[in-house]
Amino acid sequence: MQNEWLFLAAAIPAVILFGLAKGGFTTLGMLPMPLLSLVVSPVRGAAIMLPILVVQDWVGVWAFRRDFSVRNLLILIPASLIGIFAGWLLAAQVSEAIVRLAVGLISIGFVIFMVLRARLGKTDPTRASVAPGVFWGSLAGFTSFVSHAGAPPFQVYVMPQNLSPLVFAGTGTMFFAATNLLKVPPYLALGQFSRENLLTSASLFPVAILATFSGVWLVRRVPAARFYTIVLVLTLVVGLKLVWDSVFQLIA
């Protein structure tokens, strides 16, 4: 019973954070897996969370069904297949600490780049180009497969385009909805969907749905400038935490 309460104490906040991320505050999606790994193995945590992410994704898909960038999705979704396939091949060999370190460094570097870009006055929107999209989309697919941490590569590619908050959130929702569905067959092949894990996922569905709607509600009410400031601050905080945790894990 004590272990069950300990699990719920980590799982419920994790699901709420994922819901807010699916509602549009994408960077918050970096926090749940480190939180959940405090009480269960990272592999089991990822297996429990994937069905929840799929449910949250489709709540978000309905909410943002009119707000997304078609061109970005046509570039990013096929590219994510490359990363998912690489993640499936390397699942047993890749250290999660190394993945977290890489994602953390990308997050910090991205924030520094965006701040310098604004300070130097280079704020003209970029265009959704194929070559960068394939690179960042495949990296997002890989980090998403290994540790549900695809947000920073996605943001590195999309944020400089200066999309409206709704289109940015909707594009992220559509992209990760597709990516998470594409992850299901490899997860099945790796034997990560046990009956116990699926029942645990199902028990958390109500919290997942409510949290996603809450995120959608917030995104629609936050001004664009403040929205992007919040995303950058959260990206920096999460990046620093991931680097700290991964370095500590690697030297321990």
| Residue 155 in tokens | 């943001």
Nearest Cα neighbor of 155 from 143, 147, 78, 145 is 143
> Can you spell out the DSSP letters for 89-115?
HHTTT--HHHHHHHHHHHHHHHHHHHH
Asked if 64 and 169 touch (Cβ cutoff 8 Å), the reply is yes
Question: pLDDT at residue 129 above 80?
Answer: yes
Q: What is the mean pLDDT of residues 16-38?
A: 75
Q: Per-residue pLDDT tens for 134-157?
A: 999 999 998 888 777 788 889 889
Q: What is the mean pLDDT of residues 38-42?
A: 72
pLDDT score of 175: 95
The pLDDT-based confidence of 92 (bands split at 50, 70, 90) is low
The most confident of 10-14, 102-106, 170-174, 186-190, by mean pLDDT: 170-174
- For the ranges 54-58, 166-170, 206-210, 220-224, the lowest mean pLDDT is seen at 220-224
The pLDDT-based confidence of 2 (bands split at 50, 70, 90) is very low
| 0.85 surpassed by pTM | no
Q: What is the mean pLDDT of residues 83-92?
A: 83
- Kindly provide the b/e burial profile for residues 122-161, where b requires at least 16 CB atoms within 10 angstroms of the residue's own CB: eeeeeebeeebbbbbbbbbbbbbbbbbbbbbbbbbbbbbb
The pLDDT-based confidence of 73 (bands split at 50, 70, 90) is very high
The pLDDT-based confidence of 3 (bands split at 50, 70, 90) is low
**Degrees to nearest 5, angle at CA 154 with 100 and 95:** 20
Q: What is the mean pLDDT of residues 169-196?
A: 88
Count of beta carbons in the 10 Å neighbourhood of residue 197: 19
pLDDT score of 224: 64
Amino acid at 89: L
